Amino acid sequence: MILLPNPQQNQLLAALSSDESARLSPHLELVSMRLGDMLYQPNEQLRHAYFPTTAIVSLHYVTESGASAEVSGVGHEGVVGIPLFMGGNTTSSSAVVQTAGHAYRLDRALFKEEFSRGGAMQRRLLSYTQALITQMFQTAACNRHHSIEQQLCRWLLLTLDRIPAGEFLMTQELVANTLGVRRESVTEAAGQLQRDGYISYRRGHISVLSRTGLEQLSCECYAVVKKELIRLETATH
């Protein structure tokens, strides 16, 4: 059964009060996101906030040499564009679509205006920002102290949480850019997970065959981020 796009598929939009929904719904624009689409680049003016429903957006830090690594991911639990209400219209990171799907976008002026009202939407956005910062801290620690196989398991599990179907499109090159490692390292780690029977990888299609296996191999970083996302989900209901 294919679900038609609906703002309620995003947790933040689903938690809007009737008054908030009445103000914002007419201005929410449904957009289709393709794998690899760039929503914004470093130091570029942000013109919209994006509320993913079925898409996943990866926030990357890009070095002067052009190398990049993911600092966090944003799916149906959140919003892309927190710099808009944190005091700036630009950011040093980039935002690229990791998994194709849909999102609703809102003009930055309306987004900032709603935040400035100081109501429930503001509280939820601040709570989400805390969850996002937790994810960023944990990603930094994971990239520094844990193996590539553990990092890959963490990334796969977080992606799986946002795409319950358990299958998604992702090339090894994009995974390598996301984790900030060599493609050969991802090939080796993914190959081992496939030999162990935890995933199936073929022509850019990744299928998770054993979530339990990935959880056993993953470091504690996944559990920390998952706990924070559960707290956020509870707070928005």
Q: pLDDT at position 95, please? A: 93
Short-list 95, 69, 70, CA closest to 81: 95
DSSP for residue 132: H
Residue 4 near residue 62, CB atoms below 8 Å = no
Is residue 40 within 8 A of residue 108, CB to CB? The reply is: no
pLDDT of 105 reads 97
Q: Kindly state the average pLDDT of the residues 110-114.
A: 94
Tell me the pLDDT of the chain averaged across its residues: 88
Helix (H) / strand (E) containing 159: helix 148-162
Note the pLDDT tens digit of each residue in 170-191.
778 888 888 888 889 988 999 9
H/E segment holding residue 31: strand 29-33
Q: Identify whether the C-beta of residue 192 lies closer than 8 Å to the C-beta of residue 149.
A: yes
pLDDT at residue 207 greater than cutoff 70: yes
The yes-or-no verdict on residue 65 having pLDDT over 80 is no
Query: One-letter amino acid identity for 167?
Result: E
What is the pLDDT, as a whole number, of residue 2?
Answer: 57
Whole-angstrom Cα distance, residue 1 to residue 41? 36
Which of the following CATH numbers is that of domain 147-218: 3.30.70.270, 1.10.10.10, 1.20.1250.20, 3.40.50.2000? Answer: 1.10.10.10
Confidence band of 34 (pLDDT split at 50, 70, 90): very high
User: Which residue ranges make up each domain of the chain?
Assistant: 7-122, 147-218
Residue 114 to residue 2: CA distance in whole angstroms: 32
More confident residue, 87 or 227: 227
Q: Is the pLDDT of residue 235 over 70?
A: no
Out of 60-64, 157-161, 166-170, give the one with best mean pLDDT. Answer: 157-161
**Level-2 CATH architecture, domain 7-122:** Sandwich (2.60)
Least confident of 97-101, 166-170, 194-198: 166-170
